[in-house]
Every structure is written in C-alpha cells, then in structure tokens.
Amino acid sequence: MANIFGVTHRTLHFYEEKKLLQADRIGAMRIYGPHQIMVMALINLCRETGMAIVQIQELLSELAETTSQHEADKLFRDAMLAQRRELISSESLIRRQMQQISEILDHETPDNDDGSDNLASRTPFLTEFELHCLRLMSEGYTPLRISSATGRGIDDILTVENAIIRKFGSTNRFQAVAKAVLLGLIGD
C-alpha cells in the first residue's frame, strides 16, 4: 500500500489511528483488501487537494451511509466543489497579502543613491493626537472605541484615521499600522 501510493508506513499507521483505513492483520503484517485500496485512493486524492483530515473523515463517514453510486458520486462532487471554493478563497487572501507586502516593500525603497536607508525620509509627520490614535488602532481599537477613549466625536476620529491612512500611503487602517510598526513608530 505504501509503495502503491508513495506514502510512508507511518502515514498509513496515522490514517489507521484516525480511523480512515482499517487493515486486516496476519500476525504483525497488515493486509489491505481491494476496498481499503479504493479508500486509500480517495484519501490520497483528497489530501492532494489540500483537504484536512477531519474533512476526509466526515466525507468517508457520509460516503459509508450512501445507498447508491449516484448518491456517492454527488456527495464526492459536492465535497470537491466545497474544497475548490475554499481554495479560491485562500488564493484571494494570499493575493491580497502579497499585494500588501509588495506595497510595503515598494514604499521602503530608499530615495538616495548611496544605498543607505533613510528612515526619516519615509516616516510621515504625525501630530501627537494622530500618534495616540495610531497606537490605539494598533491595539485593535475601533473608531468608536477610540472616540470613547479620547473624548472626541466619531466624525473627528474618522477624519483623523483617514489622515493617518493617507499619510502612510495606505489603503486601510491595518496597512497603516503595519507600516508604522515597520518604521518603528509604534510597538514591536
């Protein structure tokens, strides 16, 4: 079984521990029948698509309860469609994260020709109040909580937050906070 599917014996043992596979035994030797080979093919396929063990467990449990091949095929197709949606969502998140990293790195390019890093030229000027709000933003405060904490109106806080975002050349508050941390203005 390990050779057929290109996995280690430990992987097979792990699948048995998780109740995905069941081997018959002759002494210490494990024997896998045709049904278990088909189950392993399904497990292997699901793992290659990035499906978590718990999802595979649920799928196998649901497949065991089906009464027809048509029902089993539909269940498997639905599981694959759900996995595809999850991967598309993950891809979208990764693309956004890569874009944010690129924007941060592009913003860090030194402006001078001698190759030295001039932080002062990249650090925006912030008033004391803006810096205070930025620290609160970094702690996860919402604009409403910042308003309560500072005693200023919500419209004033939203204006200040937008100014901070603009000064950092960011598109949102999280990116502004990240840039502030990278520049050493706040936190570690």
Q: Distance between CA atoms of 85 and 76, rounded to whole angstroms?
A: 14
What integer pLDDT is reported at residue 112 of this predicted model?
47
Confidence band, pLDDT 50/70/90 cuts, at residue 145: very high
Percentage with pLDDT > 70 across the chain: 91
What integer pLDDT is reported at residue 118 of this predicted model?
53
What integer pLDDT is reported at residue 103 of this predicted model?
77
Confidence band, pLDDT 50/70/90 cuts, at residue 94: confident
Report whether 170 contacts 176 (CB < 8 A): yes
What integer pLDDT is reported at residue 79 of this predicted model?
96
> What is the rounded average pLDDT for all residues in the chain?
87
Residue 186 in this model has a pLDDT that exceeds 90: no
Across 36-65, average pLDDT: 95
Percentage with pLDDT > 90 across the chain: 59
* Residue 24 CA: distances (Å) to CA of 27, 28, 35, 81, 101: 10, 10, 12, 33, 52
Across 130-158, average pLDDT: 92
Coarse DSSP helix, strand, coil percentages of the chain, rounded to the nearest 5 percent: 65, 5, 30
- Nearest-CA neighbor of 76 among 91, 90, 55? 55
